[in-house]
Amino acid sequence: MELKGRTALITGSAKGLGKSTAMLLARQGCNIVLNYVNSESEALQLKDEIEQLGVSATALRADISVPEQVEQLAEQAEAAYGGIDILINNAGPFIRERRVFLEYEREEIVGLLNGNLLGVMLLDHRVLPGMRSRKWGRIIHFGFGHAGEARAWPHRAVYAAAKTGLVSFTKTLAVEEAAHGITVNMVCPGDIRGVNKEKSIEDVQWQIDDESPRGRPGTGEDVARAIGFLCDSKSDFITGNILDVTGGLDPIKRTLKG
């Protein structure tokens, strides 16, 4: 098990892509700190599943869009395991309803920016000293397909602004922390929805998705495998990258057509 003895904190990991990532890293030997806001029962069930793999797991409630709760999450995680080696910033609010910017409420704008950008930066800032002291760390940010191009995305103005800001932060932090043995990368999933976020590649291998250039739906395993590779100890020369895991789909163009 490549990552045996490491500890990974995965935000928003009771369900969906975070859950798939948690299971993959647990199978590689990681102790797992799960994070949830409203999905306590799912988080506790996942904790039990992970522990059956022979590693330790704990589930902590915290809303990443609230700075005080970010600090509390980091403190509790470090108290439980002595430090965080891998930070997966999966949590991030998203409003699927299509609206122009002027139709957003002020509270929605603040929540989207805090949850997708500020909360991520604050959590990184909190765990970095420990990673530096151990001279090893892996930080993964989540974006969206083609986020690195910072194109216009009508009806997604706030979310897109937060994530493209995170692109710049990812690249900057990668340069600043490289000498300390810490890599920082961004994984950008395609339009992976619903139950597919927790499915394996084998589950959908023969399903047809006419909208995907690859021809099949994307899954949680597709994203988790990319993250697992970036967390590998021998991936220390790979940092500051924005990795699309989309099957060739361009979600912005598709949204504009629809």
Average of per-residue pLDDT values in the chain: 94
Q: How confident is the model at residue 257 (pLDDT cuts 50, 70, 90)?
A: low
CATH of domain 7-257: 3.40.50.720
Domain ranges (residues) in the chain:
7-257
How far, in Å, are 16, 20, 92, 174, 216 from residue 87 at the CA level?
Answer: 17, 15, 14, 14, 29
User: Which residues on adjacent β-strands are paired with residue 34?
Assistant: 10, 59
How far, in Å, are 35, 50, 208, 239 from residue 45 at the CA level?
Answer: 13, 9, 31, 33
Q: What is the pLDDT of residues 165-206, one digit of tens each?
A: 999 999 999 999 999 999 999 999 998 989 999 899 899 888
Q: What is the pLDDT of residues 102-141, one digit of tens each?
A: 999 999 999 999 999 999 999 999 999 999 999 999 999 9
How far, in Å, are 4, 40, 81, 108, 131 from residue 52 at the CA level?
Answer: 15, 19, 18, 39, 28
SS3 155: coil
Does an H or E element contain 25, and which?
A: helix 16-27
Counts for the chain of helices (H) and strands (E), in that order? 9, 7
